[in-house]
A and B are shown apart, each in its own frame.
Chain A
Amino acid sequence: MTRETYINAALSLLLVLVPFWAWSTGQAYILTLCTKVAILALAGVGLNIALGLGGLVSFGHAAFFGIGGYAMGILASHAQTFDPIMDWPILIEGTKSMPMIWLVAMLASALAALLIGALSLRTSGVYFIMITLAFAQMLYYFTIGWPAYGGEDGLSIYVRNSFPGLNTLVPVQFLILSYVILGLALLFSARLARAPFGLALSAARQNADRVETVGIAPYRLRLVAFVISGAITGLAGALFADLNRFISPTMFSWHTSGEIMIFVILGGVGRLYGPVAGAALFILLEHLLGGVSDYWKIFLGALLLAVVLFARGGLIGTLAGREVAHG
């Protein structure tokens, strides 16, 4: 067991104890905050596969977050008005079933990541950042001008979608659902990092020449990583939409891309629990400082600056020290 493993375990414990305490004392608001942390962390886990493992600085992950959100919004809004999405050539109806929505959200974001990645991964550095940003902004402006689903005002879904056997409107049940999904995503992410694919992707981040010389094409690795990354962030978008029972173009905006990136950087780029620590810290700051001042983001900015300048490994990196190579 490395030090990082203990820190991860402690963080997990804390993330379980806080909602447990909130639940036993009946503070539904804290439960919702914890759910939000889990969902945002999930978005960060997605980005961390591209950014941390693959070194792909995507400033456009809001695209996938938004697509996940709109997948939920579109399916649920048609279900609540009993108006099919299309009836020709085949009948497609809306749905209020979470598993179905998640599947559609992940497939749609994976497809979008495939298209965006195929084009943007031909560039690198600043160009990659700008192209991913441009794609997300395109979708942002598209949804603003898309009146069918609320346009600029967004769209409310009145009843949270359903999951077999659960009452998702009970905060603690939706919280557990979100936690389980985050847990599964972390498990997947940990396995991915240690698998042949993870080794090759990480090597491509460190030295692309090396990977080419052993006969592996970095482009393919990066594209697959980008697709997986987009699908996970898309799933987070669907859950986030369900948490708020509301979707809006803001999900696509560059602020969202920036926030997801901030979770990863605050927590620790490339660290398994980095996005979890980052999202938790972000929400905590928003909650604590947001009450003190409307300009709390100034403090967030200062903190981010401090992390980037003095603690490159983020919260996890500072606590756990240098990453131990997986042997």
Chain B
Amino acid sequence: MAEPLLQTRGITKSFGALKASDAISLDLHPGEIHALIGPNGAGKSTLIKQIAGNMTPDSGTVHFLGQDVTALDTVARARLGLGRTFQISALAMDFTVLQNAVLGALGARSGVMRFFLPVMKDRALLARAHEALERVGLQDHAATRTAELSHGQRRQLEVAVALTLKPKAFLMDEPMAGLGAGGSKRLTGFLDGLRAEAPILLVEHDMDAVFALADRISVLVYGQVIATGTADEIRANPDVRRAYLGEEDAP
């Protein structure tokens, strides 16, 4: 198999006596969707934060594109090509949908310290923003104020902004959360095609989506990865059944 694009090696993070991440080693290879599942409180968010750069692990390293990025902050990791979407939409709510997408395109291109030319007349940025909106199906809402979007549309916009960055890898934190069945199915179809462009590390609660999409699944329980494997392997794994799938999943 090819060299992993994104890799964590023995990431450990403790909060007092609680080990939120316990020697987690994960990798993300080109062309794959690697899903991360686990019950609530398993430490998924903590792990995502360490991969994205919001939190520094107590020990262990994060490698991205063959480079040790453990000491780099979110901004630097984003600039290297890590495209992240948030569990709770992090968008500029007073902006139009298009402005949010243009912001992404602006981040991808250098030159934010420009003070005179109107950004919303920059053809290159607009083209990139429109392209991303079209891909997620938001092209008709370009002029809508983001605060007026439905929850599902905000999730779509999150993905669109990540797309404008043309990232080398995606880090998606529960992109399906709060989507209806239709929206979830649509996004599943979209992510299915997206993996060819850049691999996706997908944290998701929607089991249908995870089992439909993931090339590999890792199961996180109490800060530890208890199993990694294909959908079938995970389904058959007795530890996983006991720790997770057998239990009633909290909504």
Cβ-defined partner of B165 (8 Å) among A192, A206, A209, A215 = A215
* Structural contact, B118 and A212, CB atoms closer than 8 A: no
**B37 close to A (CB within 8 Å):** no
Q: Give Cα A215 to B100, complex, Å.
A: 14
Q: Quick check: B116 and A195 within 8 Å, CB to CB? A: yes
Q: How far is the CB of B104 from chain A (nearest CB, A)?
A: 5
Whether B92 lies near A197 (C-beta < 8 A) is no
Judged by a CB distance under 8 angstroms, whether B113 is at the interface is yes
B99 in contact with A199 (CB, 8 Å): yes
Tell which of A23-31, A175-183, A274-282, A319-327 binds the partner: A319-327
B94 touches A214 (CB 8 A): no
Interface hits, B114-131 → A, CB 8 Å: 114-120, 122
Partner pick for B118 among A194, A216, A217, A325, CB 8 A cutoff: A194
**B2-10, B21-29, B72-80, B217-225 - interface stretch:** B72-80
Which residue on A lies nearest to B103, using beta carbons?
A: A203
Chain A residues within 8 Å of chain B by Cβ, number? 28
B145 at the binding interface (Cβ < 8 Å)? yes
* Bound form: Cα–Cα A191–B111 in Å: 16
Distance from A190 Cβ to chain B, minimum over Cβ atoms (Å): 10
Instruction: Choose among B90, B92, B100, B115 the residue that contacts A195 (Cβ–Cβ < 8 A).
Output: B115
On whether the beta carbons of B98 and A327 are closer than 8 Å, the reply is yes
Cβ-neighbour of A206 out of B93, B114, B119 (below 8 A): B93
Subset of 23 A-B contacts with CB under 8 Å = A191-B118, A195-B119, A196-B122, A198-B115, A198-B119, A199-B102, A200-B107, A209-B86, A212-B73, A212-B78, A213-B78, A214-B104, A214-B107, A214-B161, A215-B75, A215-B107, A215-B108, A215-B165, A216-B75, A216-B107, A224-B113, A325-B94, A326-B118
Q: Which residues of A contact B (CB under 8 A)?
A: 191-192, 194-200, 202-203, 206-207, 209-217, 221, 224, 323, 325-327
